[in-house]
Protein backbone atom coordinates (compact mmCIF):
# COMPACT_ATOMS: atom_id res chain seq x y z
CA UNK A 1 0.00 0.00 0.00
CA UNK A 2 1.52 3.31 -1.02
CA UNK A 3 1.53 6.46 1.12
CA UNK A 4 -1.19 8.14 -0.96
CA UNK A 5 -3.59 5.26 -0.42
CA UNK A 6 -2.84 5.27 3.31
CA UNK A 7 -3.36 9.04 3.44
CA UNK A 8 -6.72 8.80 1.65
CA UNK A 9 -7.94 6.01 3.92
CA UNK A 10 -6.81 7.81 7.08
CA UNK A 11 -8.52 11.00 5.90
CA UNK A 12 -11.75 9.14 5.12
CA UNK A 13 -11.57 7.36 8.48
CA UNK A 14 -11.04 10.67 10.28
CA UNK A 15 -14.06 12.19 8.53
CA UNK A 16 -16.09 9.11 9.40
CA UNK A 17 -15.22 9.35 13.12
CA UNK A 18 -16.07 13.05 13.07
CA UNK A 19 -19.40 12.29 11.35
CA UNK A 20 -20.29 9.56 13.88
CA UNK A 21 -19.66 11.98 16.74
CA UNK A 22 -21.79 14.66 15.07
CA UNK A 23 -24.79 12.63 13.95
CA UNK A 24 -25.10 8.87 14.05
CA UNK A 25 -28.28 8.49 11.97
CA UNK A 26 -26.96 10.72 9.21
CA UNK A 27 -23.68 8.78 9.18
CA UNK A 28 -25.55 5.49 8.94
CA UNK A 29 -27.52 6.85 5.99
CA UNK A 30 -24.34 8.05 4.29
CA UNK A 31 -22.68 4.66 4.72
CA UNK A 32 -25.65 2.79 3.23
CA UNK A 33 -25.64 5.10 0.23
CA UNK A 34 -21.85 4.70 -0.06
CA UNK A 35 -22.15 0.92 -0.13
CA UNK A 36 -24.75 1.16 -2.88
CA UNK A 37 -22.75 3.64 -4.96
CA UNK A 38 -19.68 1.42 -4.58
CA UNK A 39 -21.51 -1.47 -6.22
CA UNK A 40 -23.04 0.83 -8.82
CA UNK A 41 -19.68 2.12 -9.99
CA UNK A 42 -17.89 -1.25 -9.75
CA UNK A 43 -18.85 -2.60 -13.23
CA UNK A 44 -17.66 0.62 -14.90
CA UNK A 45 -14.40 0.51 -12.93
CA UNK A 46 -13.80 -3.10 -14.00
CA UNK A 47 -14.51 -2.26 -17.65
CA UNK A 48 -11.97 0.56 -17.63
CA UNK A 49 -9.39 -1.56 -15.81
CA UNK A 50 -9.71 -4.33 -18.41
CA UNK A 51 -9.45 -1.78 -21.22
CA UNK A 52 -6.30 -0.35 -19.61
CA UNK A 53 -4.78 -3.83 -19.53
CA UNK A 54 -5.60 -4.35 -23.20
CA UNK A 55 -4.32 -0.90 -24.12
CA UNK A 56 -0.96 -1.36 -22.41
CA UNK A 57 -0.60 -5.01 -23.40
CA UNK A 58 -1.70 -4.99 -27.01
CA UNK A 59 -1.19 -1.50 -28.44
CA UNK A 60 2.46 -0.71 -29.17
CA UNK A 61 3.80 2.34 -27.32
CA UNK A 62 4.89 3.96 -30.57
CA UNK A 63 1.28 4.01 -31.75
CA UNK A 64 -0.01 5.56 -28.53
CA UNK A 65 2.64 8.27 -28.58
CA UNK A 66 1.85 8.98 -32.22
CA UNK A 67 -1.71 9.94 -31.23
CA UNK A 68 -1.18 11.54 -27.82
CA UNK A 69 2.59 11.86 -27.48
CA UNK A 70 5.19 14.55 -28.10
CA UNK A 71 4.96 14.27 -31.87
CA UNK A 72 1.17 14.51 -31.95
CA UNK A 73 1.39 18.31 -31.78
CA UNK A 74 -1.53 20.70 -31.52
CA UNK A 75 -3.80 18.59 -33.67
CA UNK A 76 -3.47 15.68 -31.26
CA UNK A 77 -4.25 17.95 -28.31
CA UNK A 78 -7.30 19.32 -30.10
CA UNK A 79 -8.65 15.86 -30.90
CA UNK A 80 -8.15 14.70 -27.32
CA UNK A 81 -9.91 17.84 -26.06
CA UNK A 82 -12.92 17.15 -28.29
CA UNK A 83 -12.97 13.52 -27.22
CA UNK A 84 -13.04 14.58 -23.57
CA UNK A 85 -15.84 17.04 -24.24
CA UNK A 86 -18.06 14.46 -25.92
CA UNK A 87 -17.36 11.39 -23.76
CA UNK A 88 -19.60 10.94 -20.78
CA UNK A 89 -17.70 8.72 -18.32
CA UNK A 90 -17.41 9.22 -14.55
CA UNK A 91 -14.47 11.45 -13.71
CA UNK A 92 -13.22 9.04 -11.02
CA UNK A 93 -12.41 6.55 -13.74
CA UNK A 94 -10.66 9.05 -15.98
CA UNK A 95 -7.65 9.17 -13.65
CA UNK A 96 -6.51 5.54 -13.95
CA UNK A 97 -7.10 5.83 -17.70
CA UNK A 98 -4.94 8.97 -17.80
CA UNK A 99 -2.25 7.28 -15.74
CA UNK A 100 -2.14 4.33 -18.12
CA UNK A 101 -1.82 6.66 -21.11
CA UNK A 102 1.08 8.49 -19.42
CA UNK A 103 2.75 5.16 -18.69
CA UNK A 104 2.51 4.10 -22.30
CA UNK A 105 4.10 7.08 -24.01
CA UNK A 106 1.52 9.87 -23.90
CA UNK A 107 2.83 13.30 -22.92
CA UNK A 108 1.49 15.46 -20.09
CA UNK A 109 -0.33 18.07 -22.19
CA UNK A 110 -2.90 15.85 -23.95
CA UNK A 111 -3.54 13.87 -20.77
CA UNK A 112 -4.19 17.00 -18.69
CA UNK A 113 -6.38 18.42 -21.47
CA UNK A 114 -8.36 15.19 -21.65
CA UNK A 115 -9.08 15.07 -17.91
CA UNK A 116 -10.05 18.73 -17.85
CA UNK A 117 -12.44 18.70 -20.80
CA UNK A 118 -13.87 15.37 -19.66
CA UNK A 119 -14.80 16.80 -16.25
CA UNK A 120 -15.65 20.40 -17.12
CA UNK A 121 -17.46 20.07 -20.42
CA UNK A 122 -20.50 17.96 -21.07
CA UNK A 123 -21.85 17.96 -24.59
CA UNK A 124 -24.26 15.19 -23.58
CA UNK A 125 -25.63 17.24 -20.68
CA UNK A 126 -25.58 20.55 -22.59
CA UNK A 127 -29.33 20.55 -23.38
CA UNK A 128 -30.07 20.19 -19.66
CA UNK A 129 -27.61 22.96 -18.83
CA UNK A 130 -29.23 25.28 -21.39
CA UNK A 131 -32.65 24.52 -19.93
CA UNK A 132 -31.54 25.33 -16.39
CA UNK A 133 -29.14 28.23 -16.96
CA UNK A 134 -30.05 29.70 -20.32
CA UNK A 135 -28.35 29.44 -23.68
CA UNK A 136 -25.93 32.31 -23.14
CA UNK A 137 -24.45 31.12 -19.88
CA UNK A 138 -24.30 27.44 -20.80
CA UNK A 139 -22.58 28.02 -24.14
CA UNK A 140 -20.14 30.55 -22.68
CA UNK A 141 -19.24 28.20 -19.83
CA UNK A 142 -18.63 25.20 -22.07
CA UNK A 143 -16.84 27.22 -24.75
CA UNK A 144 -14.47 29.04 -22.42
CA UNK A 145 -13.85 25.82 -20.46
CA UNK A 146 -12.61 24.27 -23.69
CA UNK A 147 -10.06 27.05 -24.12
CA UNK A 148 -9.11 26.86 -20.44
CA UNK A 149 -8.52 23.12 -20.68
CA UNK A 150 -6.06 23.61 -23.51
CA UNK A 151 -4.29 26.42 -21.61
CA UNK A 152 -4.03 24.20 -18.51
CA UNK A 153 -2.66 21.31 -20.57
CA UNK A 154 -0.05 23.37 -22.38
CA UNK A 155 1.09 25.06 -19.16
CA UNK A 156 1.41 21.70 -17.45
CA UNK A 157 3.38 20.34 -20.36
CA UNK A 158 5.82 23.22 -19.92
CA UNK A 159 6.23 23.00 -16.13
CA UNK A 160 6.18 19.23 -15.60
Partner 1 sequence: MKDYVKEKETQRKRMKRDTIILGITLIITIALLSIFPDRQETVITTSWDFFIEMILILPAVMVLMDLFSVFVPKEMVVKHLGKAAGIKAVFLGILMGSLPTGPLYVAFPMASALLKKGAKISCIIAFLSAWACIKIPQEMVELQFLGPKFMAARLVLTIVLVVIMGILIERLIEWSDKKQILGGEEDAGI
Q: Return the residues of window 83-102 that contact partner 1 according to CB under 8 A.
A: 90-92, 95-96, 98-100, 102
Q: Does 152 bind partner 1 (CB under 8 A)?
A: yes
Q: Does 13 bind partner 1 (CB under 8 A)?
A: yes
**DSSP code for 123:** S
Minimum distance of partner 1 from residue 69's CB (angstroms): 17
Minimum distance of partner 1 from residue 6's CB (angstroms): 9
Cβ neighbours of residue 101 closer than 8 Å, sequence gap 6 or more: 55, 64, 68, 110, 111, 114
Nearer to partner 1, 34 or 73 (CB): 34
Please tell me the distance from the alpha carbon of residue 59 to that of residue 143, in angstroms, as a whole number.
33
Task: State which of positions 24-43 bind partner 1 (CB under 8 A).
Answer: 26-27, 29-31, 33-35, 37-41, 43
Cβ neighbours of residue 142 closer than 8 Å, sequence gap 6 or more: 85, 121, 122, 123, 126, 129
DSSP H stretches of helix in 23-60: 24-58
Q: Does 21 bind partner 1 (CB under 8 A)?
A: no
Q: Does 120 bind partner 1 (CB under 8 A)?
A: yes
Nearer to partner 1, 72 or 101 (CB): 101
Minimum distance of partner 1 from residue 130's CB (angstroms): 10
* Measured CA angle at 25 (ends 19, 27), to 5 deg: 35
Amino acid sequence: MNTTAIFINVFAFGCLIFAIIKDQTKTKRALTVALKSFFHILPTVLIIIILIGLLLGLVPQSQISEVVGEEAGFRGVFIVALLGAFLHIPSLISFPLAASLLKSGASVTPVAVFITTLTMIGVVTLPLEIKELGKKMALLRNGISFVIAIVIGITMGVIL
